[in-house]
Structure 1
Amino acid sequence: MDDIELACTSSDGCGAQEFRNQMDTLPDIHNQILQLLCTRLSDNSIMVLQEELQLMQRSSYYLEIQRDDLVPTADQQQNTLHLSDSTVWSLIDQRRLRHALTQANTQVKLLLTLLGLLYQEIIRGCRELEAFILKYNQGLVGSDTAASMQQRLQQTLQYVNDFERRMTQNLGPLDLQNQLIPNTGNIPIPQLSASLAMKMPVIFDRSESCVTSNSVYLFWEVAGKQFQESNQPFEIHVKSLNPTIDGHGQFYKLTCQSYNIQVNNLISDRYYQCSVKRIDAVNLVYGLWIDSIILKTLDISK
């Protein structure tokens, strides 16, 4: 009689075979996890993800209005309407504009919340995968770990892919329920669309900012930019941290369109808190970041 290959006829036999299969896959899972921890989940890669998330969280987001009924030009900015323009402002229905700004604010908050949750899951996954590598090297990993680690590996990799896709994905147009300019039926109205624009956060250049006995020299830049945007208005606050006897400290609120400023008439040997941010615009929908540094004026008695 020809020999035939019998299938498992008992639960014990099937269980033993499954145990051997799981143990055989452990080295492969170990190598896959180790490779991922050395590449896309390395300490440097995680630091990059954290920095990208912080940039998104500290950026300013604006509602931009474009005309869709014009022929596209080489300079697309010509088709972008500025809400600060009095003519545009008079045409737009203010109730609909407020709704669009609220909608844009919600979209930004949802995006930042999602990115934050994805980052937390990536960190949690890293810790579990690193713990598995440590136990594996100590010979403390059992067969029951194989399936769970394979699943955690795939989940963490998916979180990384989702995070990177969201970071590079255009914020996209807003799906407005109503046209911002109501149709009165008398004259043709321009066809408008709305989208979100992002500007990187403003940060002090701490290596350049300095003091004398009665002045501070402040320098700042746009994070992640190799060039300086022109005609960008900034708001600077300089506040004394050493109030005078009557309880009031010096406070300066200044605006400028350059990337540096000199503040004079300060008191020597005093601490001053200096802050910089972009000036709030009418189309700003989200922007919480304000960079601050503390500088001390020189003591002229020394």
Structure 2
Amino acid sequence: MNATVTMEEVKPGHPGSEGCGAQEVRDQTDTPTDICNQIIQLLCTGLSDNSIMAMQKELQLMNRGSYYLEIQRQDLVPTADQQHTLHLSDSTLLSLINQPRLQAAMSMAKTQVKLLLTYLGMLQDQIMRGCRELEAFIVKYNQGGVDSHTAASMKQKLQQTHQDLKDFERRMTRTLGPLDLQNQLISNTGNYPIPQLSVTVAMKMPVIFDRFKSRVTSTSVYLCWEVAGEEPQEPNEQFEIHVKSLHPTVDDQGHFSKCMCQLYHIQVNNLISDRFYQFSVKRVDAGNLVYGMWIDSITLKTAEK
């Protein structure tokens, strides 16, 4: 089973590829003025302040997302409303799947996610360095200090930055895979036809508190949360809420509690007045969760009596 992101692909970018978000870089006799104009165009499009902020937000969401192994039947034709996704909570499915192979697939999926997130972080850093170098070239050009050698070097940097932007956009996907399994998850015993399964890794956007809707009284806190990116509320989602007192007394040594909730809001009662509490929320861990490190937290103080 090979990860979709190979080690070779982790080396960010290669110059000379297609452009991204601006006119493509010409190949032959660009003058310093031509290169300057192309850089300005890229700085106003793919490297504008709004574009960079959007890129940073997208990567932040990717890092905070939850990643799940999804198994689908390939030997069935999906209908318009059914993709034949199988769940690891299905006891019949679990009885058929080779557990060591499943664990190997889960481990490979986790490695693939971590590799992708690391690569995207490296790529973003390289894009920002390229942006600074291109901006410095514009300043130097305006000061009249650009020779043909410097212009040629900046042309290569411009090509590299175009390719990095294209690679970054191409990698920003919520579905990774399919995984290339060396062995089918269901062993062939020869007694019955084996269902043909495909395995992918799907991302769910992070769960975050809605700070504006949260309210406190002297003994209770009302909390609301949502899925980032204005995603619609999914039915049957389960969330885990942690409550921790940040100022324990002699009789209350940092009280900690947790509860489960199937709604996107909850009221926590029986709190002590005039005290800080830390609340955290996340999806309840599922059996097919392969990677999900981020948990949103909020600190609120109950009102005085």
Match of 1:32 in 2: 38
2:174 and 2:292 mapped to 1: Cα distance? 19
1:218 and 1:288 mapped to 2: Cα distance? 22
Contact 1:23 1:146 in 2 (8 A): no
1:115 to 94, 97, 120: 120
Deviations 1:70-125 (A, max 9, x none): 23222234x11110111211221111110010111111111111111111110000
Instruction: Tell me by how many angstroms 1:24 deviates.
Output: 8.1
1:39 and 1:241 mapped to 2: Cα distance? 46
Quick check: 1:57 aligned with 2:63? Answer: yes
| 2:120 alignment partner AA | L
Match of 1:282 in 2: 287
**Rg larger for:** 1
**Are residues 24 and 108 of structure 1, via their aligned partners in 2, closer, same or farther at CA, if it must alter by over 3 Å?**
closer
Instruction: Tell me by how many angstroms 1:200 deviates.
Output: 0.5
Deviations 1:163-222 (A, max 9, x none): 111114842211111111112222223222211111000011011112110111110000
1:298 and 1:55 mapped to 2: Cα distance? 33
| 1:46 alignment partner AA | I
Quick check: 1:86 aligned with 2:84? Answer: no
| 2:33 alignment partner AA | P
Match of 1:239 in 2: 244
Which structure has more relative contact order (CA 8 Å, sep 6+)? It is 2
1:42 and 1:53 mapped to 2: Cα distance? 17
Instruction: Tell me by how many angstroms 1:225 deviates.
Output: 2.9
RMSD of Structure 2 on Structure 1 (CA):
1.8
- TM-score of the superposed pair, with normalisation by structure 2: 0.87
Identify the range of structure 1 (40-49 vs 162-171) with the bigger mean alpha-carbon deviation: 162-171
Match of 2:296 in 1: 291
Contact 1:213 1:299 in 2 (8 A): yes
1:31 and 1:169 mapped to 2: Cα distance? 35
Contact 2:242 2:257 in 1 (8 A): yes
| 1:108 alignment partner AA | V
Quick check: 1:44 aligned with 2:50? Answer: yes
Match of 2:176 in 1: 171
Match of 1:250 in 2: 255
- Between Structure 1 and Structure 2, which shows a larger proportion of helix residues? 1
Q: Which runs of 5+ in 2 are unaligned?
A: 1-27
Match of 1:211 in 2: 216
SS at match of 2:172: helix
Deviations 1:43-81 (A, max 9, x none): 11000011111111111111111112223222234x111
Contact 1:59 1:199 in 2 (8 A): yes
**Are residues 104 and 161 of structure 1, via their aligned partners in 2, closer, same or farther at CA, if it must alter by over 3 Å?**
same
- TM-score of the superposed pair, with normalisation by structure 1: 0.88
Match of 2:193 in 1: 188
Quick check: 1:270 aligned with 2:269? Answer: no
Q: Which runs of 5+ in 1 are unaligned?
A: 1-21
Quick check: 1:95 aligned with 2:100? Answer: yes
| 2:63 alignment partner AA | Q
